[in-house]
Chain A
Amino acid sequence: MRQLKRIATRFAAGIGVLWGAATLSFVALHATAGDAALATVAGDGANPTQAVLARVRADYGLDQPLWQQYLGYLGRLLRGDLGESYQQRVPVAKAIGEQLGETVQLALAAALVAVVLAVGTAVLTARRRPWIRSAASGTELVLTSFPTFVLGLVLLIVFSFQAGWFPVSGNDGLSALVLPTFTLALPIAATLSQVLRTELEEVLEQPFILTARSRGMRDAGVRLRHALRHALIQIVTMSGFVIGGLLGGAVITETLFVRRGVGQLMLTATTTKDIPLVLGVVLFAAAVYVVVNLVVDIVYGLIDPRVVTA
């Protein structure tokens, strides 16, 4: 019952976040200079007349006061209408939907690789000899401070151009997914691993770890069965950071590897000032955040019984 109420409260907060996201992106795009009507019709270097622009403005409601545009926009959102892309002339929902599969595939693969790498490295290197720790945390530091596109380029040069193991670009098959996945996953894995190792080292100092050892449990057992679960709580808390890294990284990664996907879509929409599409993608990202955080809240209760009963 209390669990349900907790989730209901978070759900309401999530709606608030979505509304805030819609408002902020609306304000941001209207604050930047530029004529949306011009952007809509000037696609192929055409030179539209004032009459045409006026008609476009009337059609899209761009001649109305800003607050009316805002309210209309919110009203349409409530009906599930994200509007129509200026450039592609298709509903925004459809435009996102067409690209979504590829990005979800990439993001899930990257998330999986990141978590596996981070957990593996942290469990293996926490409270080990100093040189092992410094080697691991040094590598992590380099990976987190590398810009994503540089990392992607390095991977491309080594594994594609020189070794020829993976294709340079495209969306075809599993082998085309490998390099983008690692480009996206490595910086996230590096940060997660650092947090997880610090956490593990703290947990490994706890008395209950000594108790487990005093029962005759081997080191690997102590790490995996006792310490890891405590440390994972921290990783679950960082899922927001992971989602952010995945969405932001997807834009760069998809561009670099010339992959279709929401990241590419976002980039195109922003450069062509395709307001409905940008707002749609922003809202979509916010929705992903909200949903993930809800899931995290439920998972918390499963990992740590104290959250529910304490």
Chain B
Amino acid sequence: MSALGTAPDAATVGGRDPQAPLVRVDDLRVSFGRHGADVVDGVSFTIAPGECLALVGESGSGKSVTARTLVGLTGYGARVRAAALEFDGRDVSRNTERHWRGIRGAQVGFVLQDALSSLDALRPVGREIAEPLALHTTLTKAARVEKVLDLLRSVGVPEPELRAQQYPHQLSGGLRQRALIASAIACAPRLLIADEPTTALDATVQAQILELLGELKRGDAGMLVVSHDLSVVARLADRVAVLRAGRIVEQGPTRQVLEDPRDEYTKALLAAVPATHAKGTRLSSAPAAAIRATPREFDRTTPIVAAEGLVKAYTGPDKVNRTVVREVSFAVHPGETLGIVGESGSGKTTTARLVLGLERADGGHVSVRGRRWDSLTPADKRAERRRLQIVYQDPLSSFDPRYTVERVLGEAIGVTGLRAALRRDRAVELLEQVSLGAEHLKRRPLELSGGQRQRVAIARALAPEPELIVCDEPVSALDVSVQAQILDLLADLQERLGIAYLFISHDLGVIHHVSDRVLVMKDGEVVESGDVRQIFTAPAHEYTRTLLSAVLTPASQGGPRA
């Protein structure tokens, strides 16, 4: 029994062609503003009852706009034109707001990414789930409460009575996403649209949510999944449409598109997935960066940083003492990459902060080039800190939005004591190392793309000629093709300049691709560590195996399950 609706809406039976697809979109064009270019540029597809179509593309490809257009929520100032825009055999292109309201929630359910921001933070989730019931059904309040509990059970939420009373911030990421799905399927819609339904979730949770969506798919309701992630799509979709710059470049059965892609862009997307490529292979087709430097000589016997028995605990607002890092030991040698992998809350970032001396350890110690942080004088600490740099996940929030790139870099260079006249040259040189140019000097962070911003962040980290760069989820916010370029850039820099990385990520694929050695962290502890090949081919710890089994790659999925 599917949680999605199967009975056609009684009111529509009369004028409906029984052979008609559930959704038919022909030559859809969407632009914003009076003179805006088409962000959706002639998109056509159909979704049959019981079918799942995936729209795949990178940010700005128009996939979300297309999905929203199907419920008449394209956005403020949007201009929508289409040769055909049909839902359930009826033309909806001329729908009034009132018509749309009858469709939204009742016949089309919509699941957005990131349930924390997609659920009203000030209302218990039970009330959010009950909202479509109140809008579209004549159920009494008591009946709605009952139905909410049923819905929560059907999406696999334990203790539904308790959960319905709780607020989104009190639920885990997985439960929140389940609650959001429950609210979308409350009225048994004929079409479920899921826009990036698993983005921002940990790998194991992501696998569970995909499982749930797969269960909801049975029955003759349709599903439209929007994602940037080919591996997510592989698990769910019957057919895949690949979008690029508002156009569908390739469309076909999932297995065919993933295993035998026809279009160059689809091929590039598949090649950019790092999981399947070991260290040393290039992910992007971009040429290697112009790095003019002779590799420095390193003392390979002394590690750049060594951590021994690190312990860090915080006292929460409820006065409970939580140990977030316990007994963590490792060493990073010149020119190598140590990957730290773990899900959110596993203590990865705290470990990095301890290494950089930004936090004081409650136990154990960190040595930088053989000298302990806590034995250094403040002046020595400042000097050593310049040898260790960091690149964050979101460069936008680590730049002052008013600073130009020149000023951002100038500040980083300034510490090395260069004269102002030479700073600009040095800034250009740094930009060239990350494949940017002098034309980017005058830009501000908001005028750069996500990938360019991350390049500037790397250039800033390179300025003091560091020996180690801590990379804290440096590619997690990037599209897969941009991610590939950044990973290639980091590899080039390591090869030419001999920089060591402490690379933190929740993404096993990325970790597999970049690391020489890996630490697997769970609840503040290192559960397994060792050579990257050994960890990925013969994991010793149960948790590592769980993590690995949750990894999705387009290839490992082999099309949707029947």
Name A residues whose Cβ lies closer than 8 Å to a Cβ of B: 2, 127, 206-208, 210-219, 226, 229-230, 303-306, 309-310
Contact = CB atoms under 8 A, between A and B. Distances in A.
18 contacts: A208-B119, A210-B68, A210-B73, A210-B110, A211-B110, A211-B119, A211-B120, A211-B128, A215-B110, A216-B101, A218-B101, A229-B122, A304-B121, A305-B169, A306-B121, A306-B167, A309-B170, A310-B317
B229 interface: no
B141 to A, nearest CB: 16
Contact of B169 (A215, A229, A306): A306
B291 to A, nearest CB: 41
Nearest to A229: B122
Contacts of A310: 169, 317
Nearest to A206: B117
Contacts of A208: 117-121
Contacts of B106: 216
A230 B168 CA distance: 15
Contacts of B114: 207
Interface stretch (B130-138, B467-475, B529-537): B130-138
Given A127-B76, A211-B183, A309-B169, A216 B318 contact: no
B105 A215 contact: yes
Given A2-B317, A229-B122, A215 B104 contact: yes
Secondary structure class of chain A's binding surface, majority of residues: helix
Closest 4 CB pairs of A and B: A214-B110, A215-B105, A216-B105, A216-B104
B142 to A, nearest CB: 21
Given A207-B117, A208-B118, A305-B167, A216 B132 contact: yes
Given A217-B101, A304-B122, 12 more contacts: A2-B317, A207-B112, A207-B113, A207-B114, A211-B118, A212-B120, A214-B73, A214-B110, A215-B135, A305-B122, A305-B169, A306-B167
Contacts of A305: 122, 167, 169
A304 B318 CA distance: 18
A213 B73 contact: yes
A149 to B, nearest CB: 40
Contacts of A206: 117
A228 to B, nearest CB: 10
Contacts of A219: 97
Contacts of B170: 309
Contacts of A207: 112-114, 117-118
Contacts of B108: 214
A209 B184 CA distance: 14
Contacts of A306: 121, 167, 169
Interface string B262-276: 000000000000000
A216 B167 contact: no
Contacts of A213: 73, 104
A306 B76 CA distance: 30
B103 interface: yes
B370 interface: no
A226 to B, nearest CB: 5
A210 B112 CA distance: 9
Interface string B80-107: 0000000000000000010011111110
B136 A216 contact: yes
B180 interface: yes
A206 B116 CA distance: 11
A310 B102 CA distance: 37
Contacts of A230: 121-122
B54 interface: no
B164 interface: no
Contacts of A303: 122
A2 B117 CA distance: 26
B293 to A, nearest CB: 45
B71 A214 contact: yes
B200 to A, nearest CB: 12
A218 B134 CA distance: 12
Given A206-B117, A230-B122, A211 B73 contact: no
Contacts of A216: 100-106, 132, 135-136
B147 to A, nearest CB: 14
Contact of B132 (A215, A218, A304): A215
B122 A211 contact: no
A213 B131 CA distance: 11
Contacts of B184: 214
Given A306-B169, A309-B170, A215 B183 contact: yes
Given A2-B318, A212-B131, A309 B118 contact: no
Q: Could you say which of A2, A216, A304, A309 has the most chain B C-beta atoms within 10 Å of its C-beta? A: A216
A4 to B, nearest CB: 14
Contacts of B169: 305-306, 309-310
Contacts of B73: 210, 213-214
Contact of B135 (A127, A210, A211, A217): A217
Contacts of A211: 110, 112, 118-120, 128, 180, 183
Nearest to B102: A216
Interface string B39-71: 000000000000000000000000000001001
Contacts of B100: 216
A206 B122 CA distance: 13
B125 to A, nearest CB: 11
Nearest to A127: B76
A250 to B, nearest CB: 34
Contacts of A309: 167, 169-170
Nearest to A306: B169
A127 B68 CA distance: 19
Nearest to A205: B76
A306 B123 CA distance: 10
A226 B120 contact: yes
B88 to A, nearest CB: 15
A125 to B, nearest CB: 15
Q: Could you say which of A211, A215, A230, A309 has the most chain B C-beta atoms within 10 Å of its C-beta? A: A215
Nearest to A304: B122
B195 to A, nearest CB: 9
Nearest to B109: A214
A219 B318 CA distance: 39
Nearest to B121: A306
Q: Could you say which of A208, A210, A304 has the most chain B C-beta atoms within 10 Å of its C-beta? A: A208
B526 to A, nearest CB: 30
Contacts of B122: 229-230, 303-305
